[in-house]
Amino acid sequence: MKRIGMLTSGGDCQALNAAMRGVVKCLVNSKEDVEIYGFIDGYRGLIYGNFRMLEGRDFSGILTKGGTILGSSRTPFKTIKDPDENGLDKIDAMKQNYYKLRLDCLVILGGNGTHKTANLLREEGLNIITLPKTIDNDLWGTDMTFGFQSAVNIATDAIDCIHTTAASHGRVFIVEVMGHKVGWLTLNAGMAGGADIILIPEIPYNIKKVVEKIKERNENGSRFTILAVAEGAISQADAKLSKKEYKEKMKNYKFPSVSYELAQQIQEMTGHEVRVTVPGHTQRGGSPCPYDRVFASRLGAEAGELILKGEYGFMVGYRNREVVKVPLEEVAGKLKVISPDASIVKEAKLMGISFGD
């Protein structure tokens, strides 16, 4: 009998359910006797012992369902070692609930912060296998994360829709795409949607260069310009500030986000009307695209096989078009960022896309 715990932590995304289904289908198909314990709302469920037994029918019909049937929550790694408001040791509580249920393994689906905590639990002696989910595609050790392609599709659709109204009215439109620290989502959606300017956190922008591109398009007869802007995009001036200086500046920041600051600057410097569109959490929602359904299922099946083999302490990742196992200690705490010299950036620039640098 195999006793498996499962939880989904951090921000939700498409294909979480598909990945869990892949794990369970693999285990059931092996004819191994198995019990699945689903912890509710991520690490919070593991800390406070909030779980439910999952049966085969719980995984039926969820391949195309977005979100997560287990619920999720953010449990920041930076406070995971701090006692809760009642003095409870969260790490000890998670370990006790693991042992109380006599689990053979805990399958954890999540992004960067989730993997830090997962690795900590591995160091504490628990059998852990993780699956890489995030719409940001910023998890180190894997070329792709599930949820990313679905989010690219949604963000691209938003840019596509903006194109017609931008062309009709001759306006500058800014589409703000999710991504605080990395710009994979903005870069891919921007290229797919035909954005003229793409601003990402890894390449600080100069507002004068942004305006130059807009003016260049006008001079060439284009009535509109579309900017795909990551929510974490930063100006060259702000990038030179120390963390302390930047925090001080943001205390008095009068804009909802960087896109609105850009809009005001562009309007003042060009006289053009500027509109901001923020797809927001729609990028996390809805059904997973076919790519993510297949991809998440593959990763889930591979995780199931690792469980059957008793191989723990790995993230199931994707490298060079192959599903691989990556040691958790190599993943935790690392971000996969876009190099300004990356070939995809070079190729975008060859097509005339400006990064404001």
For 156-192, write each residue's pLDDT tens digit: 999 999 988 888 888 899 999 999 999 999 999 999 9
For residues 132 and 197, membership in a common domain is answered with no
Q: Is residue 336 part of a domain?
A: no
For residues 21 and 67, membership in a common domain is answered with yes
For residues 51 and 97, membership in a common domain is answered with yes
Q: Is residue 337 part of a domain?
A: no
Q: Is the dihedral of CA 203, 204, 210, 216 positive or negative?
A: negative
How many domains does the structure of the chain reveal?
Answer: 2
For residues 19 and 49, membership in a common domain is answered with yes
Could you report the per-residue pLDDT of 7-25, keeping only the tens digit for each?
A: 999 989 999 999 999 999 9
Dist. CA 236–CA 133, nearest whole Å? 31
Q: Is residue 248 part of a domain?
A: yes
For residues 107 and 192, membership in a common domain is answered with no
Q: Is 136 assigned a catalytic role?
A: yes
CA 128 to chain centre: 21
Could you report the per-residue pLDDT of 187-236, keeping only the tens digit for each?
A: 999 999 999 999 999 999 999 999 999 999 999 989 899 999 999 999 99
For residues 60 and 106, membership in a common domain is answered with yes
Q: Is residue 138 part of a domain?
A: yes
pTM here?
0.94
Q: Is residue 171 part of a domain?
A: yes
For residues 262 and 314, membership in a common domain is answered with no
Could you report the per-residue pLDDT of 253-282, keeping only the tens digit for each?
A: 889 999 999 999 999 999 888 999 999 999
* Residue at token pair 């693999």: 26
For residues 302 and 179, membership in a common domain is answered with no
Q: Is residue 322 part of a domain?
A: yes
CATH number at residue 10: 3.40.50.450
Confidence of residue 56 (pLDDT cuts 50, 70, 90): confident
CA distances from 299 to 2, 145, 246, 311 (A): 19, 10, 39, 15
For residues 97 and 126, membership in a common domain is answered with yes
For residues 193 and 292, membership in a common domain is answered with no
For residues 218 and 178, membership in a common domain is answered with yes
Residue 265 is part of which domain span? 151-284
Task: Spot the catalytic one: 136, 138, 196, 292.
Answer: 136
Q: Is residue 355 part of a domain?
A: no
* Mean pLDDT score of the chain: 95
For residues 170 and 100, membership in a common domain is answered with no
CATH number at residue 159: 3.40.50.460
Q: Is residue 356 part of a domain?
A: no
CB atoms within 10 A of CB 8: 32
